[in-house]
């Protein structure tokens, strides 16, 4: 071991071993997992530290202290902790999402400052793939408003393409920004980031109003019914039934026999169980409780399939205009 051949990680390992376990543990609390892994691997290779190496590593450390005197902080972590300390959890979540979006990607950031109608006018003559990419880089509420203002005939195509997006390279973003530069002077994104996919589509569709989401899904279903099935699964789940009003839930339960309902409740939360029991006769609820207690092990896939079957019943009733799925339930019917 010689000081000339020691890397920065090796020097850190020597320094920590000389400081002792207690000091090292405190220092580790300030490092990320990758940094800890690198240092501990280096420590594991050391079985002897010559005195001259020890002295020179300490001397190097003191020199670095003088050169980089001041306060070292992880600005992004400081900002995140400050935001999460806000009293309003809803406000903190929104600000944190906006902060992360702003620091992790600057892709097409000027779009976020423009009126949705103006952006839609700018994009309506662009290729649907370009529009999809632009919307994928925006906050979901802003993207949904832009989508609402796009021509109806291209909405489904745009949403379909968003679902197919996985990652975007800087070169692709640069080309789009060059094409739109005269109108909005965009700033290039520097790092590849996951911007599209089904989750993005679900968030986007959930923010649309006036049943635009239904029209879009119907159009996409003609070309890719499997994708639409996946989107619908993500948009409404069995546990979402708890948000429905009593009248809507009773309407769904009338379409489900007790054996099927019992199986679907095998892995359900206590909240959804009690909500369902409260919307059926006391006798039927007691029978299902007893059946659940007596039920042996069943395949998770069978339970999930039954839950999805009930979700499909709910969706069918919504399509028939008999109820409205979502947090508002039938209270949203007009």
Provide DSSP, 193-220.
Answer: EE--SHHHHHHHHHT--TTHHHHHHHHH
Antiparallel, parallel or unpaired: β 193-194 and 167-168: antiparallel
Does one domain contain both 50 and 95? no
User: Strand (E) positions, the chain?
Assistant: 167-168, 193-194
Kindly state the tokens that stand for 303. Answer: 């339970």
Our measurement of the distance from residue 188's CA atom to the centroid of its chain's CA atoms, rounded to an integer in Å, reads: 23
Co-location of 290 and 321 in the same domain: yes
Q: Do 96 and 111 reside in the same domain of the chain?
A: no
Q: How high does pLDDT run on average in the chain? A: 79
Q: Is residue 55 located within the same domain as residue 98?
A: no
- 194: β partners: 167
pLDDT number for residue 13: 86
CB distance 186 to 109 below 8 Å: yes
Question: Which structure tokens are listed for 175?
Answer: 């080309």
Q: Is the same domain home to 320 and 264?
A: yes
Residues 297 and 255 in one domain: yes
The low-confidence residues of the chain, meaning pLDDT below 50, are: 103-107, 185-193, 327-334
The CA distance from 54 to 60, in Å, is 10
Asked if the structure places residue 261 within a domain, the reply is: yes
Residues 117 and 97 in one domain: no
CA–CA distance, 135 with 127 (Å, rounded to integer):
13
Give residue 103's pLDDT: 46
What is the Cα 141 distance to its own chain's centre? 14
Q: Do 210 and 111 reside in the same domain of the chain?
A: yes
Is 122 within a domain? Answer: yes
- pLDDT of res. 71: 52
The reported pLDDT for the residue numbered 87 is: 75
Please report, for the domain that includes residue 149, its CATH number.
1.10.220.30
- Those residues whose C-beta lies under 8 Å from the C-beta of residue 70, and which sit 6 or more positions away, are none
- With respect to residue 228, please indicate whether it lies within any of the assigned structural domains: no
Whether 230 is in a domain gets the answer no
How confident is the model over 69-84, as pLDDT tens digits?
555 556 666 776 777 7
Together in a domain, 115 and 177? yes
In a domain, 73, yes or no: no
145 within a domain of the structure (yes/no):
yes
- Considering the domain architecture, whether residues 93 and 187 belong to the same structural domain is answered as no
pLDDT score recorded for residue 329: 39
**Residue 58 sits in which domain range?**
3-67
Residue 279, pLDDT score: 94
* pLDDT attached to residue 187: 36
- The count of structural domains within the chain is 4
Same domain, 269 and 257: yes
**If DSSP codes are grouped into helix, strand and coil, which group holds residue 310?**
helix
- The DSSP output letter for 328 is T
Q: How much is the pLDDT for 292?
A: 92
Domain-embedded: residue 225: no
**129 and 198 share a domain?**
yes
Given 185, 216, 247, the domain boundary residue is 216
Q: pLDDT tens across 4-22, in order?
A: 567 778 888 888 888 888 8
- Residue 229 in any domain: the answer is no
pLDDT of residue 255: 92
């Amino acid at each position: 071991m010689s000081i000339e051949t020691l890397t920065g990680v090796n020097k850190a390992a020597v320094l920590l071993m000389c400081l002792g376990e207690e000091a090292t543990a405190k220092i580790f609390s300030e490092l990320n997992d990758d940094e800890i892994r690198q240092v501990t691997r280096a420590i594991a290779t050391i079985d002897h530290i010559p005195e001259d190496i020890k002295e020179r590593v300490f001397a190097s450390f003191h020199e670095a202290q003088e050169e980089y005197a001041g306060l070292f902080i992880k600005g992004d972590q400081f900002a995140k902790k400050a935001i999460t300390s806000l009293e309003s959890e809803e406000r903190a979540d929104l600000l944190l999402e906006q902060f992360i979006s702003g620091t992790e990607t600057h892709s097409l950031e000027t779009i976020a400052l423009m009126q949705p109608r103006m952006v839609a006018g700018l994009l309506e003559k662009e290729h649907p793939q370009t529009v999809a990419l632009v919307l994928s880089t925006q906050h979901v509420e802003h993207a949904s408003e832009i989508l609402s203002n796009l021509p109806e005939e291209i909405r489904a195509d745009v949403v379909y393409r968003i679902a197919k997006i996985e990652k975007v390279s800087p070169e692709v973003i640069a080309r789009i920004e060059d094409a739109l530069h005269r109108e909005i002077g965009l700033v290039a994104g520097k790092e590849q980031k996951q911007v599209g996919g089904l989750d993005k589509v679900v968030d986007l569709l959930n923010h649309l109003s006036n049943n635009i989401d239904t029209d879009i899904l119907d159009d996409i279903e003609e070309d890719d019914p499997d994708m639409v099935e996946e989107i619908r699964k993500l948009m409404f789940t069995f546990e979402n039934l708890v948000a429905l009003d009593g009248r809507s839930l009773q309407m769904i339960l009338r379409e489900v026999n007790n054996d099927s309902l019992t199986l679907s409740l095998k892995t359900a939360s206590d909240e959804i169980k009690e909500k369902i029991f409260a919307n059926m006769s006391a006798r039927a609820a007691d029978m299902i409780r007893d059946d659940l207690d007596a039920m042996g092990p069943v395949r998770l896939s069978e339970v999930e399939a039954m839950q999805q079957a009930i979700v499909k019943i709910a969706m069918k009733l919504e399509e028939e205009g008999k109820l409205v799925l979502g947090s508002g339930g039938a209270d949203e019917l007009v």
